[in-house]
């Protein structure tokens, strides 16, 4: 496992350069469970005893998942790693290591590549993550794959199949802020405010994992694909019916004057805030509220009303109950 392949063809086969590896190779590892980090054919780790290992990976592509029009390379590094850490949070896992695979145009300088890692390193420092490997190759557009590794106690993992009848459905933070920030950026690349930052530098909800260790059973998803999609996934995996209420959905006060159909798109269909949606029993809900009190906003938005072989998600709005599809479209 190497970290830079330059296009030096000899006999039709790539030779590789090693200078860049030395530049980004950590001088020490934060986790003692890293037996061998960067610098051999592969990394060797010894995940902590008694824990299960959680593995997530995400790929992001220039002009599809991010844009240089209004993002620095360090923002992009930050955002891709944040998206991955959000997947760990959604499993109830604490971060341990990450690996970075980059396909990059040969016009990039070492300094630009390093900026990508600077953004990642901000999160890595905060959550004590170790960079253990990856690969860097040439391509015509920037494609970044990050893999993250976390640990979870077997009885504290948060699967989307764990919802049960009578569970309270909750979300962290507010809904639709990143998508709203994205749209603001489209009309003004230079704009910088709370919402644009929610798109450029989303904070994964690792704090939620740390605060809710005492809660035994929770189903959980991150809002990478939007509330409607994630709730439908929980409903399907748990074979359950979920009912949520429009009036209970947490929306930033500065977004409430947005035209209703557009607001519904932001709140129901837009993801990538990397907030969490989940369910737990009414008893554990009290525990969860207490554990997160004053530190992290968690809002109840509905209930799991039944376990069923025909799972559905319903949205009540103005006392009308409609079926909420994955796409966020709702119909009677």
Query: Does 41 count as an annotated binding residue?
Result: yes
Please state, in angstroms and rounded to a whole number, the distance separating the CA atoms of residues 102 and 145: 6
Please state, in angstroms and rounded to a whole number, the distance separating the CA atoms of residues 321 and 332: 7
Selected from 21, 118, 137, 296, the binder of a second copy by CB under 8 A is: 137
> Which parts of 182-241 interact with a second copy (CB under 8 A)?
182-183, 186, 220-222, 224-226, 229, 237
Nearer residue to a second copy within complex by CB, 52 or 312: 52
In eight-state DSSP terms, residue 190 is T
Query: Does 182 count as an annotated binding residue?
Result: no
Helices (H), 165-304: 177-187, 194-200, 206-211, 227-238, 260-264, 282-292
Q: Among residues 189, 238, 292, 224, which one has the least CA distance to residue 86?
A: 224
Query: Does 201 count as an annotated binding residue?
Result: no
List of residues 6+ apart from 210 with CB closer than 8 A: 94
Q: For the CB of residue 154, give the shortest distance to a second copy in the complex, in Å.
A: 8
What does each C-alpha distance from 248 to 13, 291, 299, 300, 313 come to in angstroms? 59, 21, 8, 7, 15
Nearer residue to a second copy within complex by CB, 245 or 326: 326
> Which parts of 67-126 interact with a second copy (CB under 8 A)?
86-88, 90-91, 93, 97, 99, 101-103
Nearer residue to a second copy within complex by CB, 19 or 319: 19
Give the number of residues in contact with a second copy, rule: CB under 8 A: 90
What does each C-alpha distance from 272 to 23, 130, 238 come to in angstroms? 31, 24, 23
Nearer residue to a second copy within complex by CB, 150 or 250: 150
Q: For the CB of residue 128, give the shortest distance to a second copy in the complex, in Å.
A: 18
Query: Does 233 count as an annotated binding residue?
Result: no
Binding of a second copy by 4 (CB under 8 A)? no
Contact 127, 88 (CB under 8 A): no
Contact 325, 226 (CB under 8 A): no
Query: Does 58 count as an annotated binding residue?
Result: yes
Nearer residue to a second copy within complex by CB, 58 or 167: 58
Site string for a second copy, 33-72 (x = CB under 8 A): --xx--xxxxxxxxx----xxxxxxxxxx--xx-------
Three-state SS for 204?
Answer: coil
Please state, in angstroms and rounded to a whole number, the distance separating the CA atoms of residues 58 and 81: 9
Binding of a second copy by 177 (CB under 8 A)? no
Binding of a second copy by 154 (CB under 8 A)? yes
Q: Among residues 113, 112, 219, 204, which one has the least CA distance to residue 163?
A: 219
> Which parts of 290-319 interact with a second copy (CB under 8 A)?
none
Q: Which one of the spans 108-116, 263-271, 288-296, 312-320 is the region binding a second copy (CB under 8 A)?
A: 263-271
Binding site, residues?
A: 41, 57-58, 65, 87, 117, 134-135, 160, 222, 224-225, 272, 329
Binding site for Mg(2+), residues?
A: 41, 57-58, 87, 135, 222, 225
């Amino acid at each position: 496992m190497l970290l830079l392949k330059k296009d030096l063809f000899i006999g039709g086969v790539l030779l590789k350069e090693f200078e860049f590896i030395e530049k980004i190779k950590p001088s020490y590892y934060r986790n003692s469970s890293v037996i061998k980090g960067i610098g051999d054919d592969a990394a060797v780790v010894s995940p902590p005893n008694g824990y299960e290992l959680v593995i997530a990976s995400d790929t992001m592509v220039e002009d599809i998942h991010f844009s240089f029009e209004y993002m620095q390379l360090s923002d992009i590094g930050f955002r891709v790693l944040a998206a991955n850490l959000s997947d760990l949070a959604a499993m109830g896992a604490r971060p341990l290591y990450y690996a970075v695979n980059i396909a990059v145009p040969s016009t990039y300088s070492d300094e630009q590549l390093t900026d990508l890692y600077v953004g990642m390193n901000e999160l890595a420092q905060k959550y004590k993550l170790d960079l253990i490997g990856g690969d860097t190759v040439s391509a015509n557009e920037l494609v970044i794959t990050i893999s993250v590794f976390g640990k979870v106690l077997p009885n504290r993992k948060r699967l989307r199949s764990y919802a049960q009848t009578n569970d309270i459905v909750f979300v962290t933070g507010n809904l639709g802020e990143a998508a709203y920030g994205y749209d603001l950026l489209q009309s003004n690349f230079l704009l910088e405010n709370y919402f644009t930052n929610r798109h450029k530098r989303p904070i994964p909800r690792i704090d939620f994992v740390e605060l809710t260790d005492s809660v035994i059973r929770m189903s959980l998803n991150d809002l990478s694909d939007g509330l409607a999609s994630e709730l439908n996934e929980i409903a399907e995996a748990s074979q359950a019916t979920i009912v949520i209420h429009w009036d209970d959905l947490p929306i930033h006060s500065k977004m409430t004057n947005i035209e209703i159909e557009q607001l519904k798109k932001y709140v129901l269909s837009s993801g990538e805030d990397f907030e969490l949606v989940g369910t737990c029993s009414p008893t554990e809900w009290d525990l969860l509220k207490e554990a997160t009190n004053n530190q992290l906003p968690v809002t109840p938005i509905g209930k799991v009303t039944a376990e069923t072989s025909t799972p559905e998600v319903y949205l009540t709005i103005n006392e009308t109950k409609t079926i909420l599809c994955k796409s966020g479209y709702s119909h009677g």
